[in-house]
Amino acid sequence: MAARRAPTSGGPTVFTSQEARLAVEGGSPVRTGPWPTYDKGDVFISTEDEAAVTEAVRSRLYFRYDHRPYPDTCTGRFERRLSRYFGTAHALACSSGTTAIALGLLACGLEPGSPVACPAFTFAATPSAILLAGHRPVLVECDADLHLDLDDLKRVLSEGVKAVVVVHMRGFASDMPAICDLADEWGVPVIEDAVPALGARIGDRHLGTFGRFGAFSTQSDKSLNTGEGGFLLTDDEEAHARAVVYSGAYENRMNRHFEGEPPAVDDLAYPIFSFRMDEIRAALADALLDRLPRRLALHQRNYGHVAERLDGVDGIALRRPVASGAYLGEALVFRLEGATPEQCAWFARALCAEGVDARALGDRGDKNVRSFWNWRFLLGPDADAARAALPQTTRYVGEAIDIPLSANLGLDDCDDLVTAVRKVLSALA
Ligand SMILES: Cc1ncc(COP(=O)(O)O)c(C=O)c1O
């Protein structure tokens, strides 16, 4: 038997003893259908998108730098539309979010091996991109809402970091006005890893347009889904030209990216890394842009629906946005305040058994690459020592539960999520 629907406000849900029995302990689950996620084929795609890809395949022109003028290529069109959509002077389509971050850092022209700050709560791709660009990641603590901790950022700036990579992790905006002010004080560039937040804003300004560069991914679970891919935004013409060359624009192909006179950047002075986007992906991404506003509205609706019903529920702390609505809504992250990592791992397992995919971000038995202590490539094999060096982030990541929120969820699915969370919480209590 399905458990009773969640109430519409923050009051307690009353479960009968049969309903209260957790699925993980042999009771009936709240739902039996699969929770939609990208790796189960959950996509936001239309017949127009499919037609755009077919047309690109039939064109037999798959390389972005072919005989056609720039505006006639899918990649060129996509870049121009990105610039208009985000209101930036330049956009560069590339092969992934990781390469977009690395291209932004490369184009900043820092000394090789420079210390570069990034939050300790992020996907392993962020420090990896810093390494890819030839620099040294310096991890910064996160606060109780899992945002970059401004006091710890001040500390690493005073210790000489040469750039800051900010991450809008799980779609929640970092405090960009405050971070940019701090970085300006120290004269260091900011690169936004806006990979998890494509389309989210602070007020009316898009994330990815606050820093010197904004880096995005079009990998499968992002707001634009081309399987793999990414793009980089900037208003800095010369830095854009360098990023274009690094991405693989050789023999004057960089010039095609500029409508007027290109900047005086010698394309033979830089290595080329073949981080280009291809025409087939660009055709799909360009078509998907038409439906991006619809997708974003659904994310906001679903997140708002769930957050309103879980806000104030005893035992959980929903992430607070830095400004009203400053999130994408593609993931629900909350902390089980005071719970141990083992309790959180149990909680996530219990939610999964109820039919809602969930993960305890700090589960010690999970090789989750959003837990910094698992970044052995950076911090070595001693996870305890890594955690001891960043106690604040260890605590808050250790209490965090993460649930993906597809744009394809209906409000009934959202109600199932609320019911499942309340059911498992009442058992935990
Ligand atoms: C915060 C963050 N940065 C960077 C990346 C890397 O993006 P990509 O897989 O396109 O390289 C991801 C991937 O999900 C991410 O979550």
Give residue limits of the domains in the chain.
17-44+291-428, 47-287
Residue 14 has pLDDT above 70, yes or no: no
Predicted local confidence at residue 340, as pLDDT:
95
What atom in ligand 1 is closest to the CA of residue 228? Answer: 10
Distance 97 CA to ligand 1 centre (A): 5
Predicted local confidence at residue 16, as pLDDT:
74
Contact between 3 and 22 under an 8 Å Cβ cutoff? The reply is no
Beta carbons within 10 angstroms of residue 198's beta carbon: 28
What atom in ligand 1 is closest to the CA of residue 96? Answer: 10
Beta carbons within 10 angstroms of residue 388's beta carbon: 11
Domain 17-44+291-428: CATH class, spelled out: alpha beta
Q: Is 218 in the pocket of ligand 1 (CB under 6 A)?
A: no
Distance 321 CA to ligand 1 centre (A): 21
Average of pLDDT values for 100-124? Answer: 98
Q: For residue range 289-312, what is the model confidence (pLDDT) as tens digits?
A: 999 999 999 999 999 999 999 999
Task: List, as one string, the DSSP characters of 16-71.
Answer: -HHHHS-GGGTS--S--SPPP-GGGT-----HHHHHHHHHHHHHT--SSSSSS-GG
Q: How confident is the model at residue 36 (pLDDT cuts 50, 70, 90)?
A: very high
Distance 191 CA to ligand 1 centre (A): 14
Express as a percent the part of the chain with pLDDT over 90: 94
In total, the chain counts a number of residues equal to 429
- Nearest-angstrom CA–CA distance, 388 and 197: 30
Contact between 143 and 173 under an 8 Å Cβ cutoff? The reply is no
Q: Is 229 in the pocket of ligand 1 (CB under 6 A)?
A: no
Distance 195 CA to ligand 1 centre (A): 6
Residue that is written with structure tokens 């078509």 in the block: 287
Predicted local confidence at residue 6, as pLDDT:
47
Q: Is 193 in the pocket of ligand 1 (CB under 6 A)?
A: yes
Q: For residue range 386-406, what is the model confidence (pLDDT) as tens digits?
A: 999 999 999 999 999 999 999
- Nearest-angstrom CA–CA distance, 409 and 327: 17
What atom in ligand 1 is closest to the CA of residue 230? Answer: 10
Contact between 27 and 20 under an 8 Å Cβ cutoff? The reply is yes
**Catalytic residue of the set 40, 162, 222, 367:** 222
Predicted local confidence at residue 11, as pLDDT:
55
Predicted local confidence at residue 10, as pLDDT:
52
Q: How confident is the model at residue 12 (pLDDT cuts 50, 70, 90)?
A: low
Task: Sort strands 205-206 and 190-193 into parallel, antiparallel or unpaired.
Answer: unpaired
CATH code of the domain made up of 47-287: 3.40.640.10
Predicted local confidence at residue 2, as pLDDT:
44
Q: For residue 186, give every residue at least 6 positions away whose Cβ sits within 8 Å of its Cβ, in sequence order, or none.
A: 157, 158
Residue 93 has pLDDT above 60, yes or no: yes
Residue 8 has pLDDT above 90, yes or no: no
Express as a percent the part of the chain with pLDDT over 70: 97
222 flagged as catalytic: yes
DSSP 8-state class, residue 341:
H
The per-residue b/e assignment along 134-150, b for 16 or more CB within 10 angstroms, e otherwise, is ebebbbbbbbebbbbbb
- Nearest-angstrom CA–CA distance, 26 and 411: 27
